[in-house]
Amino acid sequence: MPRYYLGVDGGGTNCRVRLVDETLTTLAEVKNGRSNLQIDDGEPAFKAISDGTRDVFAAAGVDYRETRNTFACFGMAGGRMDSARDEFAARPWPFAGVKVHDDIDIAHAGALGGNDGAVIIVGTGSAALAIVDGKRHQCGGWGFQIGDQMSGAILGRELVRYAVEAQDGLVPASPLTEAVIAALGGDNQAVMTWSFGADKDVRIIGNDGSEGHGDLLVGRAPAEFGRMMPLLIDHLDQGDPVARQMMDVQLGYVDRYVRWFQARNAHVMAIVGGFGERIFPLLQQRYGDFVALPLYEPLHGAVILAKQNFAQSPT
């Protein structure tokens, strides 16, 4: 009987689903809704993958009942917590087998073709993983509030903070800091309003219907700070001194991960994510052959892991 593998790249914005045959040849691929495991107890993710599965089987011209001969691997945003992955895997899936991974795992498998080595995700968020001699080493990926060093969101926040200080006259200004202030409203009062999202008229409502919550604060999402990166890169190319200073901060974060991976005998570190790939020439100058661009995208990493996880399982 035929055997299929299904891979999912479940992101906070959208969910991509790919169906492949035993040779990992793509039969069809579809995109569906958001799928972060930390949003609404994973319900949107469950719906996105369920709907995406029906859509991808239809697009491939394969009978949906063949899900019983299909092994699936999900790489999920918000999958850093073991309990979230286990609970999601236990849902009523139609497949012969399901394995839920953190999104860093499928990025690793795709970037290195399923082989040993290290990978860092450098996008709006950041995370890092190495597999060396079968042993897994993971660090970072703890989110914008307490982690995500190396990310565009964290560097964007640092840039906005610096631009506000420059506007106050505490640190030297530059064309970049002036451009940041202009982009966010023209002065520090406007930037402060922007940072709290005050223009969005968002309120926190408790389960009992009361407004407000003493230990929670509404503010701009990580992606909003990450949108500062094109501005930073443009000014970096023009030799802006603050842009160079910000990039030194970024490279300092990457240095920390490089040392951590080299201490664990990783021989290569692939760079995944839009921001990381944009600054790859700088990373290559700094680290030489230790860094590499990814061989494949994370979605292909999901089907690689599906096959690795279930190659010996009977259908």
3-class DSSP state of 278: helix
Instruction: For residue 153, give the nearest of 185, 161, 265 by alpha carbon.
Output: 161
Token pair belonging to 49: 């993958």
- Residue 138: other Cβ atoms inside 10 A: 15
Give pLDDT, residue 1.
79
- CA dist., res. 122 & res. 140, Å (int): 11
pLDDT along the chain (315 residues), means of 10: 94 89 97 85 93 97 97 91 92 97 94 96 91 93 87 95 98 98 97 88 76 79 92 97 97 96 97 92 96 96 96 77
Q: What is the 3-state secondary structure (H, E, C) of 61-108?
A: CCCHHHHHHEEEEEEECCCCCHHHHHHHHCCCCCCCEEEEEEHHHHHH
Instruction: For residue 27, give the nearest of 11, 48, 5 by alpha carbon.
Output: 5
Token pair belonging to 156: 């964007």
Give pLDDT, residue 106.
96
> Under a CB-based contact definition with an 8 Å cutoff, are residues 5 and 306 in contact?
yes
> Under a CB-based contact definition with an 8 Å cutoff, are residues 306 and 73 in contact?
yes
Give pLDDT, residue 97.
97
| pTM of structure | 0.86
Listed in sequence order, the residues at least 6 apart from 171 whose beta carbon sits closer than 8 Å to its beta carbon are 162, 165
Give pLDDT, residue 138.
93
Give pLDDT, residue 216.
80
Give pLDDT, residue 295.
97
Give pLDDT, residue 124.
86
Among the residues of the chain, which ranges form H helices?
Answer: 43-60, 82-89, 103-111, 152-168, 175-183, 188-195, 222-226, 229-237, 241-262, 274-278, 280-287, 298-310
Give pLDDT, residue 36.
84
Strand pairing report for 97-102 and 135-140: unpaired
- CA dist., res. 188 & res. 163, Å (int): 9
- Residue 304: other Cβ atoms inside 10 A: 24
Left if phi > 0, otherwise alpha if psi is -120 to 50, otherwise beta: which for 113? left
3-class DSSP state of 271: strand
Give pLDDT, residue 189.
97
Instruction: For residue 305, give the nearest of 18, 12, 42 by alpha carbon.
Output: 18
* CB-neighbour burial class of residue 256 (10 A; exposed 0-12, middle 13-18, buried 19+): middle
Instruction: For residue 6, give the nearest of 62, 70, 61 by alpha carbon.
Output: 70
